[in-house]
């Protein structure tokens, strides 16, 4: 995953964030989308995020990752494969 500088983050459209209003969970590319899913799941597991918020972030990340699973959750193996496929296509 490429480092996202403050300047680059400011240039990302709000629509490319998992939570556009608060500009949290940036997803300018597939690796950031996979990372956003992971971080959102961690916040949900800690009780800091609702299931509906997690679902919104997952849906947006899944769209970026090309994942169309009905349950909106990648397995750890799926996430790894998505990241490896993305890195191989650079």
Please give the pLDDT value at position 84: 76
- Tell me if 72 is assigned to some domain: yes
pTM of the model: 0.72
Gap between the Cα atoms of 88 and 64, Å rounded? 17
- Tell me if 32 is assigned to some domain: yes
- Tell me if 6 is assigned to some domain: no
Phi and psi at 89, nearest 5°, equal -95, 5
- Tell me if 9 is assigned to some domain: no
Please give the pLDDT value at position 2: 76
Give kind and range of the element (H or E) at residue 82: helix 76-88
- Tell me if 5 is assigned to some domain: no
Report the domain count for the chain: 1
Give the model's confidence band at 26: pLDDT under 50 very low, under 70 low, under 90 confident, else very high.
very high
Q: Give 12 or 76, the one with higher predicted confidence.
A: 12
**Domain of residue 76, residue span:** 16-88
- Tell me if 3 is assigned to some domain: no
Segment 32-74, tens digit of pLDDT? 999 999 999 999 999 999 999 999 999 999 999 988 654 555 5
- Tell me if 4 is assigned to some domain: no
- Tell me if 51 is assigned to some domain: yes
């Amino acid at each position: 995953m490429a480092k996202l500088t403050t300047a680059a983050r400011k240039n990302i459209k709000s629509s490319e964030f998992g939570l556009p209003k608060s500009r949290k969970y940036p997803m300018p590319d597939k690796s950031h989308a996979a990372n956003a899913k992971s971080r959102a799941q961690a916040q949900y597991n800690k009780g800091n995020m609702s299931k509906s918020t997690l679902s919104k972030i997952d849906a947006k990340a899944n769209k970026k990752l090309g994942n169309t699973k009905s349950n909106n959750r990648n397995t750890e193996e799926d996430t790894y494969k998505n990241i490896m496929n993305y890195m191989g296509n650079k």
